Amino acid sequence: MKNVIITGAAQGIGYFLVKQLLTDKYNVTVLDLDGGNLGALSKEWPSLLTLVCDVRDSNRIKECVEESVLKFGSVDCAIHNACRCTFESMNNTDDATYRD
């Protein structure tokens, strides 16, 4: 069985990615800031590993990957779905915009 970590998956596109991956029998670890929505996901899919994580914190990401490996044995794929939307072009946006 394949093991996937996906960020930003408590709602929207990420939520539907999780749903499809679980339907396809993947082991899924979800990282998201929204603990409330993660709780709802856990109730809906008990096999899911949900972890509160701010993807701007590289140490927390490492901890979450380690937790996922402890539960599922490996990570075969990581999907970075967490994002901050902006209406500026990449040329007019600095890194600080995405860290805030």
CATH 3.40.50.300 fits 3-99, yes or no: no
Give the residue extent of every domain in the chain: 3-99
Torsion of CA 4, 9, 13, 15, to 10 degrees: 90
Q: Per residue in 27-71, pLDDT tens?
A: 999 999 888 888 888 888 889 999 999 988 989 999 999 999 999
| Per-residue pLDDT at 11 | 82
Q: Which residues, in sequence order, are CB contacts of 97 under 8 Å at separation 6+?
A: 84, 86, 88
Phi, psi of 7 (to 5 degrees): -95, 155
CB 33 within 8 Å of CB 59: no
